[in-house]
Structure 1
Amino acid sequence: MPVSPPPAGIGPLAPPPPAPRRRRRLLPVAVLATVLLLVLAGVAGVLRPGPVAGWLGDDATGPAAAAQAPEPDPSPVLAGPDANAPQPTSAGVRAAVEPLLGAAALGSRVNISVADLTTGQSIYARGGDDGTVPASVTKLATGVTVLEARGPGYRIPTRAVAGANPGEVVLVGGGDPTLAVNGNGFYPGAARLDTLAKQVKQALGGTAPTKVVVDSSLFPGPVHGPGWDDDIPTGGYGASITALMTDGARSDPEAARKTFDDTHGAAERVPQPDLTAGRSFARLLGLGGDVQVTRGTAPPAGGAAASGAPAPGTELGKVESLPMIRLVDIMISDSDNVIAEALARQVALARNQPASFVGGAAAMDEVIGELGLPAGEISLSDGSGLSRNNRISPSLLTDLIALAGKGDHPELGAIFGGLPVGAWSGTLGDRYRVDATEAGAGVVRAKTGTLTGVHAIAGLVTTAEGRLLTFAVLTDRAPAGDSDVSRQALDRIAGALAGCGCR
């Protein structure tokens, strides 16, 4: 019997495996099979050559590739989502979820949208078009807009250029939040300053480095977002957003990597990330002692050169970030706020807006409209969801997810790879493990969001009859008490969709 193909856009865009930093919990065999159903449905789509190879910088047209015999198509090991499974009815979904929407732990306003992923048809909504504080669910909009604006293969550069005086080096930030100092950085595979320093030394020739200037002027405006709670810059989940930083502004990336699971990703951040990065770079260039690093701007190229020294503005070296498809994956799977803010600014740069909180929000709104989505149902102040000023409607979120899954915009499918899986990974790793929610284990794949009094979840769920739905549930007037109780109340809703045919 032939295997039913997955909905277009989901399978072929499964990204590379996640970084090995975070532990994955063991699942029962039956649940593991369901997780693999979602992830492995598109195995054939990621075999090289293909679009993913291009996005990751692979060259499938070189001599080595030409000499290799083509690999045979893989044999399917699990069926993909069944596009012929019966679609739930509005009455069936209403009966399954409405009794759960009145839970006291969710507060006085719970807005929800449920749609069919294959057709994009809305099945059920309550307050579906109402703007609601989305918290970190905002990152779905950030991921979609940056993939559309920059493309999955785009890499963020960090450059070094010759300064105005002989031996002066200007470190120019391009907005890569994952840049590492050396091989002990927080993000596996990140671009490194020690690599850049080697390039600079070679380019300088006999001229000794004498000074480092940091140019972080690409990101103008405030470094902290409007609507952020007072403790966010120092609480371990946010940071000062500058165009030049290393390791997401973490003060001790090695320790942060080792304690990631225990701290849920929180880590001490440095107050001036650009100057901290500049000091590290100066040490790598051999400028020891109490290194004095200043801010400035790179001189334009074409100036007169001193004897034996590169002309001011001459590029001395460049390193590039992981491709955008990987940055989006990390942002979503780890709910990395600093990466999210950097990517929102990449949307701004791609749309000729200032790379600031205001410019990023305006550019994301512009791209949402370009994609044919209702831009009137989103109003943003940042790209991470830390701002309480953000508003997104549940129906916009389900429309966005359905658009990414249809295949008309294959570059958008990268958002699915980083989505946490119920009882398995990411922010859902400890959820869907109690009787009232366990139907969602392995079959709920979603982005979560939490602020005090705000709880949200949006993503995919497979019904008991095999139909793939997209859903979003947002509440921004929840009691400020036990957040775990509120999250369980949300999980019961997604669990109810997973546990029924809803017809």
Structure 2
Amino acid sequence: MKTKKTPARWSKWLLGVVLVMASIATPVTGGQAAASVQSYKALEVGINQVITSQRMRGTRSSVVVRDAHTNRVVYEYRGDQGVTPASNVKVLTATTALEVLGKDYTFHTDVLTNGTVHNGILNGHLYLRGTGDPTLLETDLQGLTKQLRDAGIRSVTGHIVADDTWFDTQRLSPGIYKSDETHYYAAQITALTLSPNKDYDAGTTIVTAKPTKNGKPAAVTLTPHTNIVNVINRTRTVPKNKANTVTMSRQYGTNNIIVSGNIPVNASSKRQWVTVANPTAYTADVFKLALAKQGVKLTKEARVTRGKTPANATMLASKESMSLYYLMMPFMKYSNNAHAEILAKSMGRAIYNEGSWNAGLRVVRETLEKDGINTKGIYLEDGSGMSHKNKIPSVRLSEVLFAAQTKDWYHAFKRSLPVAGINDRMLGGTLRNRLTSPLVKGKVFAKTGTLNRTDSLSGYVKTKSGQDLIFSILTENVNGSARPDIDKIVQVIAAQ
């Protein structure tokens, strides 16, 4: 999961500097996993010492290190063992999307009609058709309505029809638990969805609670405002220095967002990203509000419905998203689950004309096989890594990372990976507060992964001696968090 801070920035990229080598751990006896060549003996000993430590006992691990230039495996510990990879699944999703869809791939959101315009009156329905754009904002919907206004449309006699048929109707992947559904990382997936800001958490709204007067409820707002969400305000403003106990969650199976707890006078506002039920209706509702702001009138009988755009409909307005090249940054840096699932369904639609998880994951497997990667031992239920049933051996992830280097889209992929210890959200991403020592800071480009009792990290590292190595470290059944142990392993690798 990511920590919410400031909006994303897209304009800079920074590489760190290697300074000092960490000491190598004392070798262990008893013969653990063997390094492929004698020159990697220190790496073998150091990693084995971490894996056999008291902290890691009982943990199911799979670790592979390979030379990024020769593809030689220089260390392997149960490399063929399938382990729940968490968000390391996104390595497969990202590389396959770049291969299949291409780095120039974009999403389109269109407004069409089956009617005619006469004297500023559109006699017919407005169809708002989406293809899965996870970066669509309220300002984009306002831009679409402005295009209608500029075309001379002042009123519409028909309904607003939301067309999300580009994808199937399964909105949640199998790995989403009921308790997850209120959280931004478990948003529903539809082909017509909306993000509240430039973090691009599609299918969510930002709920903000601000203190008012002592004894009065907090002021609660939604960004963007939508009428399909019902805010149940159970908050109270309390005196200064009291605890801020405000919580926000969506009631399961509804669009009721319950905001409760105390917020002190003069305290900073509290905000949280909360999912909405039915992102399609959410997007269409915000579009309807945008029409009103542009002065485009609807009749009293007008409704927002869901349907398919007629084949002979006329285009009135259109919005094209950023390309996949740029989308890769918030997707991988922030480990955005909705982006992963949207890309999975988009691949299914592109290759098999079926915007489903089954079709998309089939594309992933077939693309891996075309690159000569054996998919035996790989089991996927989603494109994001939310399912605990996902299994990938570390040797396969390392093979994917090696193969990626030969592709014309490799730069787009590598620049999207979090960079160790770089304290900038759009550079360091989910690694900005990890691996901060001089040995590894700015030298590790890797995808993180975290679920309950599961931690992973896979990517590229520049070693102290200037070698380029690929690594994949997958762990599950962790007692607490394996992050400290994974980071120790990476430091051992970097010390080569």
Work out whether the TM-score is over 0.5.
yes
In structure 2, distance between residues paired with 1:198 and 1:350: 30
In structure 1, distance between residues paired with 2:301 and 2:16: 54
User: What one-letter code is carried by the residue in structure 1 that aligns with 2:112?
Assistant: V
The answer for the alignment partner of 2:61 in structure 1 is 110
The answer for the alignment partner of 1:67 in structure 2 is none
The answer for the alignment partner of 2:304 in structure 1 is 293
Query: What does residue range 75-90 of structure 1 map to in structure 2 within 5 Å?
Result: 89-90=39-40
Contact residue 439 and residue 495 of structure 1 kept, 8 A = yes
In structure 2, distance between residues paired with 1:214 and 1:163: 14
Larger radius of gyration: 2
The answer for the alignment partner of 1:211 in structure 2 is 159
> Mean alpha-carbon deviation: is it higher for 376-385 or for 462-471?
376-385
Matched, 1:168 2:125: yes
> Mean alpha-carbon deviation: is it higher for 124-133 or for 150-159?
124-133
SS in 2 for 1:474: strand
SS in 2 for 1:322: coil
Query: What does residue range 235-254 of structure 1 map to in structure 2 within 5 Å?
Result: 235-247=183-195, 248-252=202-206
Contact residue 153 and residue 323 of structure 1 kept, 8 A = yes
The answer for the alignment partner of 1:76 in structure 2 is none
The answer for the alignment partner of 1:413 in structure 2 is 411
User: What one-letter code is carried by the residue in structure 1 that aligns with 2:205?
Assistant: S
Structure 2 unaligned segments of length 5 or more: list them. Answer: 20-36, 117-122, 196-201, 209-221, 225-267, 423-427
Match for 2:43 among 93, 105, 126? 93
In structure 1, distance between residues paired with 2:331 and 2:301: 35
Give the deviation of 1:221 after TM superposition.
3.6
Give the deviation of 1:235 after TM superposition.
2.3
Query: What does residue range 199-348 of structure 1 map to in structure 2 within 5 Å?
Result: 199-203=147-151, 205=153, 208=156, 210-247=158-195, 248-252=202-206, 267-286=273-292, 287=297, 292-301=303-312, 313-348=313-348
Matched, 1:128 2:79: yes
SS in 2 for 1:416: helix
SS in 1 for 2:364: helix
Contact residue 175 and residue 342 of structure 1 kept, 8 A = yes
Contact residue 421 and residue 444 of structure 1 kept, 8 A = yes
* C-alpha spacing 1:170/1:22, structure 2 compared with 1 (3 Å): closer
User: What one-letter code is carried by the residue in structure 2 that aligns with 1:432?
Assistant: L
Query: RMSD in angstroms over aligned alpha carbons?
Result: 2.9
Instruction: Identify the structure with the greater strand proportion.
Output: 2
In structure 1, distance between residues paired with 2:384 and 2:42: 34
Match for 2:137 among 159, 173, 180? 180
In structure 2, distance between residues paired with 1:204 and 1:395: 60
In structure 2, distance between residues paired with 1:266 and 1:449: 22
The answer for the alignment partner of 2:466 in structure 1 is 466
SS in 1 for 2:81: coil
Matched, 1:429 2:435: no
Q: Deviations over 1:397-456 (max 9, x none)?
A: 111111112x3x2123311112111221111111124xxx66322222211000001110
Give the deviation of 1:102 after TM superposition.
2.2
SS in 1 for 2:89: helix
Instruction: Identify the structure with the greater helix proportion.
Output: 1
User: What one-letter code is carried by the residue in structure 2 that aligns with 1:127?
Assistant: R
The answer for the alignment partner of 1:305 in structure 2 is none
Give the deviation of 1:256 after TM superposition.
8.5
User: What one-letter code is carried by the residue in structure 2 that aligns with 1:341?
Assistant: E
The answer for the alignment partner of 1:45 in structure 2 is none
Contact residue 365 and residue 379 of structure 1 kept, 8 A = no
Contact residue 93 and residue 343 of structure 2 kept, 8 A = yes
Contact residue 16 and residue 441 of structure 2 kept, 8 A = no
The answer for the alignment partner of 1:21 in structure 2 is 7
* C-alpha spacing 1:181/1:104, structure 2 compared with 1 (3 Å): farther
In structure 2, distance between residues paired with 1:279 and 1:212: 9
* C-alpha spacing 1:171/1:329, structure 2 compared with 1 (3 Å): same
The answer for the alignment partner of 2:17 in structure 1 is 33
In structure 2, distance between residues paired with 1:193 and 1:339: 20
In structure 1, distance between residues paired with 2:54 and 2:181: 31
Give the deviation of 1:378 after TM superposition.
2.2
SS in 1 for 2:180: coil
Structure 1 unaligned segments of length 5 or more: list them. Answer: 1-18, 36-86, 183-191, 302-312
User: What one-letter code is carried by the residue in structure 2 that aligns with 1:268?
Assistant: V
